[in-house]
Structures are given as structure tokens and as C-alpha cells.
Amino acid sequence: MSDIYIHIGEILARNARMYPDDVALIERIPAEKKRFEVTWKQFDDKANQFSNVLAKKGVKKGDKIVHFMMNSIDWLAAYFGMVRTGAWVVPLNFRFTAEDVKYCCDVAEPTVIVFDEEFAGRIEAIKGQLPTVKSYICVGNPPSFAESFAKLVDAAPATPLNVEINSNDECGLYFTSGTTGQPKPILLTHENMLCACITENAHHRQTKDDCFILIPPLYHTGAKMHWFGSFIVGARGVLLKGVSPEWTLEAISEEGGTHIFLLVPWAQDILLKLDSGEIKLSNYKLDQWRLMHIGAQPVPPALIKHWKSYFPGMDYDTNFGLSESTGPGCVHLGTGNEHKIGAIGIPGFNWEFKVVDENSKIVKKGEPGELCVRGNGVMREYYKNPEATAKALIDGWLYTGDMAKVDEDGFIWLVDRKKDIIITGGENVFPVEIEDFFHTNPNIKDAAAIGLPDERLGEIVAVIIEVIPGKTLTAEEVMKFCEALPKYKRPRKIFFGEVPRNPTGKIEKPKLRKKYSGMEQAFKV
């Protein structure tokens, strides 16, 4: 089948036919002062070469391939090479330990593992416990048990494989980030991937002339699916390896970046250095930069107000999504809706939503309930977990596990994760509301609200506060600040410390509960 909209591998082939000599991807490694680029034809050829490598090793449609790499041009070339065999790509979090990788392999039963040389030790530690794996391929200098990705690719033809792939076919097995327990394997199809391409482009209007600066990890649906909006129109993408305000602004300035996806801490770091005068916008070429968008975590309205003071003409969007919805876009704020910052927004292009109570009945506007979404990006299933699938997928609706409410204008406001709600003295407290409140304090860089056990109240609200470097904040000042909160929402314990976030920006609440449960080194309110 030759229809370019059958699967995402064909979009790459089309780009190579239409724009063979145009730059497709740029890889910047600022710490090493290195820069690489490939054209669409070079990108397409390398993907074809790797697909031939895999086919020669016996990989066939429906097989699983573990993909354990850091962001790079090779990451994407390997990904599309895998896709073109009809195999399921299994991208893994680069922070996974050897035990995490083994767990994922036990579930996926891969025949091949492709990994960066820096992860060789983790793979070697579990190699003897992976009976389904027949081949190990290493990007970089391979250990003795693996073959060289570069040598295999260089020796392979760039002839396209003749594998029939339909939009309904499985494409990837994505493991959740694991902030709420054991990562769940999410099975996504080619139709899901195409939905991400179309939705992202509909929201942010990328054209061939745009340039997307990509920083977050590619193994996660968020970053890759945002890039898909540029990919579908043949626009350039810049893989920026490393995060700092200077590196980000240099990439935008030197590569002609037009839009970027940031996490809240990255945007905060840029603003802090602008405020301090450590960086000056006049040193960069930024007039072409038209869009900054954020997702993966609640966005403090004060942060965007601060951002707009430096970039008044720039578009802003908030993105909401889950791996189960093939990443971002099932709900988004929408550019031009700055008056609603704080909300996650309205249904994305070709998506619908509802907010329901525990009996799946739609709640009234303004009342909290569980957010459900429906669209072509909804996953097929939690792989090998029919019980979890049955709870999450009901009549085509994805029950997100996120508590939300809808305002009078139809905008959706995230209240919190269902499992993160704190019940104190019979009252429901939503941590995100507490966190948003603390983000209005000019001395606070980040804050996390958690529930801790309490004999009398069941749970109490505790808050971990990360102070902006160079600023000071005392417990007494925090207490005074909290007087603006209703009494039952005020923290009973205050800790000062770092707020840990995973690579996709989500606060690691289980880690915080484990660390601070039972601790007395707090200021008790």
C-alpha cells in the first residue's frame, strides 16, 4: 500500500521524495560544542538501512524491539527503521535501572535490544535473564556481546522493505513514567500516531518554514508527538542535548527556532536569569520565535504572566495529554486564550470530553469529577492487563484518572490526580490547588503538596517548598502567606527541600511520601 497516510514511516518517505536536500534534523550538543545535521533523504536512507538490518536478523511484523537510547538523530533513525519492519517499538526511559529494563522485557518479550553504549552495563547485568532476545545492537562503542549499529547500517542497502502496514496495526509499546507505581505498558497503533501528527499540527499551525526546538526525552510520547506536528509538513527539528537558559536561547537564535515545548522548571530558569540580568534578550535573534507551549504538569498562571512580560507578542499554549491518549493534544488551552491560563483548556482537534462522577454520570458545570476523553489517539489497551484496560476504557472513552471541573465558558480545569487527593478530616483537598497557590509567592521556585498519615484527621496536608536560589523564606513567612487559604487546606507540615520531577516534568509524589512520611524535621503549623 502506498497511501502516505497509512503509517508514519510513509510520512518520512514522502518528505524524502519532496524535500530530499532540505535539512530534516539538527543535533546540538552544547557542552561539547558539537552540531550535526541530516537531510530528509539521509534520514530516510538511514531508517531504510536499519530496517534491512533488522529484517536480515529475522525481525518480522508484530515482533517487539526495545529502544533504550538518549535523544539523538540516531534515536529517530533507529525508531523509523523499527517501525518500517512492522515491529512494535518499545522505547524505554533512559533513567530505568537494570531491574526496570528487565521488568519491561519480561512484559514485552523483545527479540532485539537497541541501546546506547552508556547503557551497556545495565543491559549486561540482565543479559542472562532475557530468553527472548536474540540480538543486541549498540549505538556507539559496542561491548563484546553486542554489534555496532553504525557498522551494520553502513553495510546495509537503503532499499525500502516490502512490508504491508495498515493504520490499524500496532506500532509501539510505551511504558508509563511510573510516578504512581509500576509502569504500565500502553499499546499504541499507527492510527494513534497519525492522530498525534494531525492534532499537533492543527493546534500549532506548523508549516514547512517552521523550526521546532526539541529538548524533552524522545522515549516519552510528549516530546516526539509535539515534533510530529512539524514532521508531517517536512519542517526542521532541532534536538537540543542538555538544558540551560543559554543553550535554549542560543539554539532558537542560531537555528531560527520558531516554537518550543518547555517544562515549567525550564521556563522558570529562563525567567530567573532574565530577571537577574545574567542573560539579555538583545544578545539573541528571537524575532522569528512565535510559540512557547508547556505541558506534562500544572502550569502556574503567575509563570505565564511573567513570561508574557518578556515576550508580549509570543503565542502561548498549555497542552494536556497522557501516554494513553498518544501524548499531548486531547485537551489544550489554545493560542489566544491567555485569559484562561491555569485551565488545561478545551477539547483538542477531533477530540471530545466529559467529566463524570463515580457512577459515570456527567457532573454539573463547576463540580469536580473524573475527566474522560475520546478520539483517534486513545490507546488500544494496557498490554497483557485486561483488568486495568477494562477500568480505563469504557465504551470508547478513556478514563484518565485526573479530576477536573468545567467552568461557565466550557474550559476544563485540572483539579488533581484521583489517587493524589488528600482527605483530611473528611474534606477533600486537591494538591494542585495548593501548589498553584504557592507558585504565586515570588520567592518560591517549586512546591509539592502531599498527604501524610495522621491519627486524628486520617491525613494532613504537607508541603515541600523549593526556594528560588538567592532568595530567603522562613517557616513563619510561609505560615503568614498561608493565611489566604481556607483553614482545612493549610499545610500542617512545611518542609524546605528540592521538589523531584521525572524527565517529563511530573512531581514524583511517591518518592516524596516515602521521604517525608514520619519525619519530624518539619515546621509544624
Strands 397-406 and 393-394 come out as antiparallel
The whole-angstrom separation of Cα 52 and Cα 49 is 5
DSSP string, 104-121: HHHHH--SEEEEEGGGHH
Amino acid at 190: H
User: What does each C-alpha distance from 461 to 48, 276, 453, 458 come to in angstroms?
Assistant: 54, 33, 9, 10
pTM to 2 decimals? 0.83
Q: What is the pLDDT of residue 391?
A: 94
Residues 6 or more apart in contact with residue 142 via CB below 8 angstroms: 117, 120, 136, 148, 149
Residue 293 grid cell: 507551549
Instruction: Produce one character per residue of 429-466: b if its CB has 16 or more CB atoms within 10 Å, e if not.
Output: bbbbbbbbbbbebeebbbbbbbbbeeeebebbbbbbbb
CA-atom Rg of the chain in angstroms: 23
In this structure, the number of other CB atoms found within 10 A of the CB of residue 214 comes to 23
Is the domain covering 39-191 a CATH 3.40.50.12780 domain?
Answer: yes
Q: What is the pLDDT of residue 314?
A: 97
DSSP string, 210-234: -EEEE-S-TTSHHHHHHHHHHHTTT
The whole-angstrom separation of Cα 405 and Cα 357 is 11
Tell me the CATH number for domain 421-524: 3.30.300.30
CB-based contact 238:251 (threshold 8 Å): yes
Q: What is the pLDDT of residue 285?
A: 98
Short-list 44, 45, 25, 46, CA closest to 36: 25
Where are the domains positioned within the chain? Answer: 39-191, 421-524
Half-sphere exposure of 343 (CA within 13 A, CB side): 22
Q: What is the pLDDT of residue 418?
A: 65
Mean pLDDT per 10-residue run, the chain (525 residues)?
65 97 98 97 98 98 97 98 98 89 96 98 97 98 98 98 93 75 86 96 97 94 91 98 96 98 88 95 98 82 91 95 92 93 93 96 94 97 96 96 93 79 75 86 91 79 92 91 86 91 78 78 55
Q: What is the pLDDT of residue 414?
A: 83
Q: What is the pLDDT of residue 180?
A: 43
The whole-angstrom separation of Cα 199 and Cα 208 is 16
The whole-angstrom separation of Cα 12 and Cα 174 is 21
Q: What is the pLDDT of residue 73?
A: 98
Burial of 335 (0-12, 13-18, 19+ CB in 10 A): middle
Q: What is the pLDDT of residue 453?
A: 83
Encode 359-383 in three state secondary structure.
Answer: CCCECCCCCCEEEEEECCCCCCEEC
The whole-angstrom separation of Cα 287 and Cα 257 is 10
Residue 359 grid cell: 457512577
CB-based contact 214:193 (threshold 8 Å): no
Q: What is the pLDDT of residue 150?
A: 98
The whole-angstrom separation of Cα 235 and Cα 19 is 10
Q: What is the dihedral of CA 360, 300, 206, 29, to 10 degrees?
A: -120
Question: What does the chain come to in residues?
Answer: 525
User: What does each C-alpha distance from 446 to 105, 317, 507, 515 come to in angstroms?
Assistant: 35, 21, 10, 17
The whole-angstrom separation of Cα 479 and Cα 491 is 9
The whole-angstrom separation of Cα 300 and Cα 268 is 10
Beta strand extents in 191-310 (DSSP E only) = 211-214, 236-240, 259-262, 291-295
Handedness of CA 234, 332, 218, 91 (dihedral sign): negative
